[in-house]
Amino acid sequence: MALYGAHKDRGELRIHESLDELSTDLAAYVAELSEVSVKERGVFTIALSGGSLIGLMGKLCEAPYNKTVDWAKWYIFWADERVVAKSHSDSNYKLAKDALLTKVPIVPSHVHSINDSVSAEQAAKDYEFIIRQLVKTRVISVSETSDCPKFDLVLLGMGPDGHVASLFPNHSVLNEKDEWVTFITDSPKPPPERITFTMPVINSASDVAVVATGIGKAKAVHSAINNVGPDCLSLPARMVQPTNGKLVWFLDKAAASKLDGAQLSE
């Protein structure tokens, strides 16, 4: 049985007994946001991450969602990407393509992956240009409080070190405020070259979900939600705090095992 709750200022918590239960809930959540967004705006703009999150989204490709979701209205982006060939096993695009995008009728021209034949710096510039074009044509909304794009949903994983997208603890790009998409060439987790949404773009989304599972992430979940530890305020996962949007944490029991102070109910 899942436990649902809210932390006073760290968003909604959904703590699941098993990965199967979490996957079922995650699919229902994404499908519902898609329905609302398509009804309100005619499109659904979703930014994916890589890692374990993608496997946990598999139920979206199964009944009923494979038939009920309006896939033709989806526009897909990546909150972060490794600067490797799209056919490389490290590519977040390849991961999503193999697990999701080839299994449902998404329009190929709505899938916005990075240019994998240029440097990380150029790939970040090119990606920001694509997003700017789609903001101009109003496929992507604009934040009411900044000039940032406002994605309908940004889906984030979280590393055991508390990184989200490719924003790693203590890295200077965490403080990037001007660019929408930036790059790093010294990722502490391989591969070293990556592009990533900046924190203001993540925090401008209508909805942001962080998905974290396993005991290895319990300490970072605790710091990010309960504000513990000397550096918690600069922990990337702690810095995820949508300005006008909603934040939801999808956790399994192991990842949630160090949490305190949450009001939970079944």
Ligand X SMILES: O=C1O[C@H](COP(=O)(O)O)[C@@H](O)[C@H](O)[C@H]1O
- DSSP, residue by residue, 181-231: EEEES--SSSSS-EEEE-HHHHTTSSEEEEEE-SGGGHHHHHHHHH--STT
Number of Cβ within a 10 Å radius of residue 6: 15
CB of 78 to ligand X, least distance (A): 8
Stretch that binds ligand X, among 47-55, 68-76, 168-176, 231-239 (CB under 6 A): 47-55
37, 91, 92, 203: residue in contact with ligand X (rule CB under 6 A): 92
d(CA 31, CA 28): 5
157 binds ligand X (CB under 6 A): yes
53 is a contact residue toward ligand X (CB under 6 A)? yes
193 binds ligand X (CB under 6 A): no
Query: How does 36-53 read in b/e, with b if 16+ C-beta sit within 10 Å?
Result: ebbeebebbbbbbbbbbb
Selected from 60, 71, 75, 80, the binder of ligand X by CB under 6 A is 80
Closer residue to ligand X in complex, CB, 47/134 = 47
Residue nearest to ligand X (CB): 51
- Does position 198 interact with ligand X (CB under 6 A)? The reply is no
Our CB check for ligand X shows the closer of 43 and 220 to be 220
| Residue 189 contacts ligand X per CB under 6 A | yes
Closest CA to 110 of 187, 44, 205, 183: 44
Q: C-beta of 212: minimal distance to ligand X in Å?
A: 7
Phi–psi pair at 196, nearest 5 degrees: -155, 145
Which amino acid would we find at residue 176?
E
DSSP 47: E
Q: Does 50 bind ligand X (CB under 6 A)?
A: yes
Q: What is the binding site for ligand X (CB under 6 A)? A: 49-53, 80, 92, 156-157, 159, 165-166, 189
